[in-house]
Amino acid sequence: MAMKIRLARGGSKKRPFYSIVAADSRMPRDGRFIEKLGTYNPLLPKDSEDRVKMNMERVQYWLDQGAQPTDRIVRMLEAAGIREKTERNNPNKAKPGKKAVERTEEKAAKAAEAAEAAAAEAAAPAEEEAAAE
């Protein structure tokens, strides 16, 4: 049996509340589960102690039995200190979009033109002074 530690949604519309459960991965998200391990209330502030409550002994038991936590549960376990933090990499997040790239290229071109014009203006008075002498 493929076991997962995951979130099962409860609460009403626009007021989510989740139970942290150990369930067979083939069961529906809010369907049958083996054991309830805790709760998660995303509406509470991030620094609130009541936001995530877990029975750590039972979570550790299920992890030892081979249950696989979902990504969100892994982050909660990392915050609780049960698991080591893993390095995440999203290289595309740091790249600007097409329009932003175009805007920066236009700004660079205008700045280069302005610098050339300023250099030409600075050189012109110097030539006139040299010709006047």
77-97 residue pLDDT tens = 998 888 888 887 777 777 888
Angle at 72 between CA 92 and CA 52, to 5 degrees: 135
- The whole-number pLDDT of residue 131 equals 59
Question: What's the CATH code of the domain at 17?
Answer: 3.30.1320.10
User: Is 62 found in the same domain as 11?
Assistant: yes
User: Is 66 found in the same domain as 25?
Assistant: yes
User: Is 66 found in the same domain as 8?
Assistant: yes
Number of structural domains in the chain:
2
- The whole-number pLDDT of residue 24 equals 92
Q: Is the pTM higher than 0.85?
A: no
| Assigned domain for 87 exists | no
Mean pLDDT in consecutive groups of 10 residues from the start of the chain, 133 residues: 90 94 91 92 91 92 92 90 81 83 92 87 66 59
Domain that holds residue 9: 3-80
User: Is 98 found in the same domain as 75?
Assistant: no
User: Is 99 found in the same domain as 71?
Assistant: no
Task: Please report where in the chains the tokens 């877990």 appear, as a residue.
Answer: 54
User: Is 41 found in the same domain as 14?
Assistant: yes
Give the E-state strand segments of 1-133 in sequence order. 3-12, 15-24, 35-40, 52-54, 68-69
| Assigned domain for 85 exists | no
| Assigned domain for 44 exists | yes
